[in-house]
Structure 1
Amino acid sequence: MGTETRMATHVLIVGGGYVGMYTALRLHKKMRRELKSGELQITVVDPQSYMTYQPFLPEAAAGNVEARHVVVPLRRVLPRATILNGRVTKVEHAKRQAWVQVVGSTSAEGGGGEQSAETRVLSYDVLVFCPGSISRTLPIPGLTECGIGFKTVGEAIYLRNHVLAQLDIAASTANEKVRRRALTFVFVGGGYAGVEALAELEDMARDACDYYPTIEPSDMRWVLVEASDRILPEVGPEMGRWTVETLRRRGIAIKLQTLLKSAEGHHIVLSDGEEFDVGTLVWTAGVKPNPLVRRTDLPLDEKGRLKATAELTVEGVEGAFTAGDIAAVPDLTKPGNLTAPNAQHAVRQAKVLGDNVVAMLRGKELKRYEHSYAGSVASLGLHKGVAQIYGVKMRGLIAWWLHRTYHLSRVPTVNRKARVTADWTLAFFFKREVVSLGSITRPREEFELAAKD
């Protein structure tokens, strides 16, 4: 009499960010036996092989934290999961299938190292759909040619090198127009990303001026452009106004109720009529759901987000879960509202989502996600910050310390906590590095010049 072979349950996780990685970690913890025996299979698909802890990106850009220490390698923390580096291009949940375009695959024909479009079709039993958000851009002339976002570790590294390279240009040129352009930095968007990135980079550039005898901090022009009438809405109106006043005292121009109209040829045109040349343009004016959500058969709301239930399942669909930026999750603490698309909710949702996947597989009742928003913390450079936690408003050194303490507690793995702590400790005793490694973004430049000679 033959032995019946039991097929493994396949959980496909689309996206290796906060929700994807923390959900997979939860499944590793709760279903260790099933993973070890082969009864459960987990596949995580993401273009990158790591999860980026985005709250530390401004500090990575400013050199306070090593860039490698703000990312968590997926293969290291998820040893029993299959990690596929690729982009999901289509999902047909009715068929339980997803199409994955493998990243960096090369053509087997010709031997020329040409990129091919190798696509794999994955079958699954349970879907966790969390590809995250992307930068929301507008059809502004010149924006795509000279602007850069601030969502990835690559962008943070580039901006650090770029800002320092602009100081190198200004210190080396005899052309006043070129110098003025190099020392002008514009950030569009007054949310967390824009304010923290601007404040940390301005702080770094101000320190770097010590090594440039011909450049004074007052020679630099830093501009924050925000379409609404306030910045950092998450910390409340009072703390937002205090932040504006603090940044203005540092010489940073804050332009509220102002729009970027054009950036052609690195020439900025603002809605208030002001025009000037700029060497650096950073775009942080919001995010939107990953376009992949429109290439699925899953239900969307009017803003293009997945319709979600309080149990973090996709509304009206069996075997599909979602959370994070692309999910319209009802906020049970504020009936009629949705949870904010931020890291605080994403990490907590992932825990409930992972538990609910386990509950569904074991035939148990699913839990509802309910979490009151605790508050917000933001860094404004070294030893400077602003915070509002459970209604308590704080600013200056204490807020900066709370910002670091909170995010250190949230960054995943003891390994990363120790490395970040070591970075901060070294920074306490030594001045930060102010070297521009431009060759990182142009690694073949020297080789190509040598080949032409």
Structure 2
Amino acid sequence: MTRPRILVVGAGFAGVECVRRLERKLSPDEADVTLVTPFAYQLYLPLLPQVASGVLTPQSIAVSLRRSKKYRTRIIPGGAIGVDLKSKVCVIRTITDEIVNEPYDYIVLAPGSITRTFDIPGLTDHAFGMKTLAEAAYIRDHVISQLDLADASQDPVERASRLQFVVVGGGYAGTETAACLQRLTHAAVKRYPRLDPGLIKWHLIDIAPKLMPELGDKLGSSAQEILRRRGIEISLGTSIAKAGPEEVTFTDGRVIPTRTLIWTAGVVASPLIATLGAETVKGRLAVAPEMNLPGDDGVFALGDSAAVPDLAKGDGAMCPPTAQHALRQGKHVADNVIASLRGQAMKPYVHKDLGLVVDLGGTDAVSKPLGIELRGLPAQAVARGYHWSALRTNVAKTRVMTNWLLNAVAGDDFVRTGFQARKAARLKDFEYTDAYLTPEQVRAQVEGSGRPE
């Protein structure tokens, strides 16, 4: 008899935790485990703003999946672009652009999320995202290059536009991105004697009435006060009406001359979920508390792409798309896959939220661990301590701690690598959202009627 085939889609927090637990708890002859991911590393997303600002190096938050010799999971370098639940086949586009059918007995869907965009003229052509390692590294290059180009320009209008920066999204990603990059430009401009520091302006805007409402009124107000003290202009109840190469128009009518628009206004489930033809909740796959798909044997989903009931909160709440839930869901779904494999009862997922941490750079932070409100250095210690402990390997922990210590002692550096020297890249160039199939194309591919166009 052939061994059952377990296919895990996605190498984020949820997918990697699931794979590692499956490897620990299953004997080699009990099942074959396969992981589908375009990149053979697990990215620690919450620290991306610190990569963009140069506090951390890119490789310090990209934990290699091939470093250890003890892991036996087969890694397929590519992306899942469709799933046929009836035939139990996952359609994969490999990094060589070959489309292959991968059969499975059990599938764990953890493809994560993509940046949520809206039908705003010019948005995907002119905005940057903050969802991938490449974007974070690229944005750092871009921001520093704006200082260089402003310094070289003889046109005061061009100089002013290059020194204005707009971040859309008042959640954790947007707030931390604006805070960390503002610190970088504030420190860097001191090395440009021809530039007036007063010309550097950061705008943080969000359509919501509050900044990071999950923190509560007091901590949210503290975060706003810290940012405004630094000179970041915060506009709430506002969004983008249109974006151009040299200016952005706000919905309140203001036109901001800028060459830098960073879009962090939320996320949506991976387009892979739409290929299943199954029930969704706001785009996320509707699953049972055990994280299995009702009515489809051997299908599990978790993380950002799954609407997992939050039994700790009740009242029909769904688990938020956060790292702490994804980490625990990964382990729990692995246990349920094993239980299903062995004919045992599965258990529902329950986790009480541990709190929130927001690192604003330097000694500024706000945190709410276990409901306790913290500000300043204590909050910074909690935020960095949480992130450090959540890193999966000792190598990653050592790199991150070394980077933090070096930055604290030696300060920022302002080197740009030249990533953006040849061709500009924007939001639409990083997440490959046009690669997915329709349910009809998935069926055609599985039935062997040819490569989908």
Compute the TM-score of the two structures, normalised by the length of structure 2.
Answer: 0.90
Matched with 2:311 is 332
SS at match of 2:60: helix
Matched with 1:451 is none
Could you report, residue by residue, the CA deviation over 1:318-347 in whole angstroms, capped at 9, with x for unpaired residues?
111111111111111121211111111111
Could you report, residue by residue, the CA deviation over 1:284-309 in whole angstroms, capped at 9, with x for unpaired residues?
01111111111114x22241211111
1:75 aligns with 2:54: no
**What CA distance in whole angstroms lies between the structure 2 residues aligned with 1:71 and 1:358?**
28
Matched with 2:371 is 391
Aligned residue identity for 1:283: W
1:252 aligns with 2:247: no
Q: Please state how far the C-alpha of 1:434 moved relative to its aligned partner.
A: 0.7
Is contact 1:146-1:266 (8 Å) kept? Answer: no
Question: What does residue range 132-143 of structure 1 map to in structure 2 within 5 Å?
Answer: 132-143=112-123
**What CA distance in whole angstroms lies between the structure 2 residues aligned with 1:43 and 1:424?**
35
Matched with 1:402 is 382
> 118-127 or 261-270, which moves further after superposition?
261-270
Matched with 1:412 is 392
**What CA distance in whole angstroms lies between the structure 2 residues aligned with 1:21 and 1:255?**
38
Equivalent in 430, 437, 451 of residue 417 of structure 2: 437
Residues 1:444 and 1:369: Cα distance change in structure 2 (over 3 Å): closer
> 13-22 or 356-365, which moves further after superposition?
356-365
Question: What does residue range 152-171 of structure 1 map to in structure 2 within 5 Å?
Answer: 152-171=132-151
Aligned residue identity for 2:108: V
Matched with 1:273 is 253
SS at match of 2:373: strand
Q: Please state how far the C-alpha of 1:444 moved relative to its aligned partner.
A: 9.2
**What CA distance in whole angstroms lies between the structure 2 residues aligned with 1:347 and 1:217?**
42
Matched with 1:301 is 280
Equivalent in 65, 73, 93 of residue 101 of structure 1: 93
Aligned residue identity for 2:99: T
Is contact 1:185-1:222 (8 Å) kept? Answer: yes
**What CA distance in whole angstroms lies between the structure 1 residues aligned with 2:413 and 2:228?**
26
Q: Please state how far the C-alpha of 1:276 moved relative to its aligned partner.
A: 2.1
Could you report, residue by residue, the CA deviation over 1:338-384 in whole angstroms, capped at 9, with x for unpaired residues?
11111111111111111111222222221221111111000111111
Q: Please state how far the C-alpha of 1:75 moved relative to its aligned partner.
A: 2.3
1:7 aligns with 2:10: no
Matched with 1:111 is none
Question: What does residue range 200-279 of structure 1 map to in structure 2 within 5 Å?
Answer: 200-279=180-259
Is contact 2:13-2:327 (8 Å) kept? Answer: yes
Unpaired runs of at least 5, structure 2: 425-453
1:189 aligns with 2:181: no
Is contact 2:281-2:307 (8 Å) kept? Answer: no
**What CA distance in whole angstroms lies between the structure 2 residues aligned with 1:220 and 1:267?**
15
**What CA distance in whole angstroms lies between the structure 2 residues aligned with 1:443 and 1:359?**
52
Matched with 1:317 is 296
Q: Please state how far the C-alpha of 1:415 moved relative to its aligned partner.
A: 1.2
Matched with 2:56 is 65
1:151 aligns with 2:143: no
Is contact 1:8-1:41 (8 Å) kept? Answer: yes
Matched with 1:450 is none
1:19 aligns with 2:10: no
Q: Please state how far the C-alpha of 1:391 moved relative to its aligned partner.
A: 1.8
Could you report, residue by residue, the CA deviation over 1:130-158 in whole angstroms, capped at 9, with x for unpaired residues?
11110111111111121010011111001
Is contact 2:269-2:305 (8 Å) kept? Answer: yes
Q: Please state how far the C-alpha of 1:314 moved relative to its aligned partner.
A: 1.4
1:199 aligns with 2:191: no
Equivalent in 80, 83, 97 of residue 91 of structure 1: 83
The percent of aligned pairs where both chains have the same amino acid is 38
Matched with 2:47 is 56
Matched with 1:448 is none
Is contact 1:222-1:251 (8 Å) kept? Answer: yes
**What CA distance in whole angstroms lies between the structure 2 residues aligned with 1:442 and 1:276?**
25
1:126 aligns with 2:117: no
Aligned residue identity for 2:390: R
Aligned residue identity for 2:373: K
Q: Please state how far the C-alpha of 1:442 moved relative to its aligned partner.
A: 4.1
Is contact 1:61-1:159 (8 Å) kept? Answer: yes
**What CA distance in whole angstroms lies between the structure 1 residues aligned with 2:340 and 2:422?**
49
Could you report, residue by residue, the CA deviation over 1:104-135 in whole angstroms, capped at 9, with x for unpaired residues?
x1xxxxxxxxxxx4111111111001111101
CA RMSD of aligned residues (A): 1.6
Is contact 1:236-1:388 (8 Å) kept? Answer: no
Residues 1:410 and 1:302: Cα distance change in structure 2 (over 3 Å): closer
Aligned residue identity for 1:8: R
Could you report, residue by residue, the CA deviation over 1:370-421 in whole angstroms, capped at 9, with x for unpaired residues?
1111110001111110111222111112111111000100011111111111
Q: Please state how far the C-alpha of 1:216 moved relative to its aligned partner.
A: 4.2
**What CA distance in whole angstroms lies between the structure 2 residues aligned with 1:444 and 1:376?**
38
Is contact 1:309-1:330 (8 Å) kept? Answer: yes
Q: Please state how far the C-alpha of 1:71 moved relative to its aligned partner.
A: 0.7
Q: Please state how far the C-alpha of 1:101 moved relative to its aligned partner.
A: 1.0
Equivalent in 28, 51, 61 of residue 23 of structure 2: 28
SS at match of 1:79: coil
Is contact 1:132-1:324 (8 Å) kept? Answer: yes
**What CA distance in whole angstroms lies between the structure 1 residues aligned with 2:294 and 2:357?**
33
**What CA distance in whole angstroms lies between the structure 1 residues aligned with 2:178 and 2:77?**
32
Could you report, residue by residue, the CA deviation over 1:183-214 in whole angstroms, capped at 9, with x for unpaired residues?
00000010011000110011111111221112
> 422-431 or 119-128, which moves further after superposition?
422-431
> 266-275 or 18-27, which moves further after superposition?
266-275
Equivalent in 299, 315, 326 of residue 346 of structure 1: 326
Could you report, residue by residue, the CA deviation over 1:40-71 in whole angstroms, capped at 9, with x for unpaired residues?
21111112221110011111111111110101
Aligned residue identity for 2:307: A
Structure exhibiting the larger radius of gyration computed from Cα positions: 1
Q: How many residues align?
A: 422
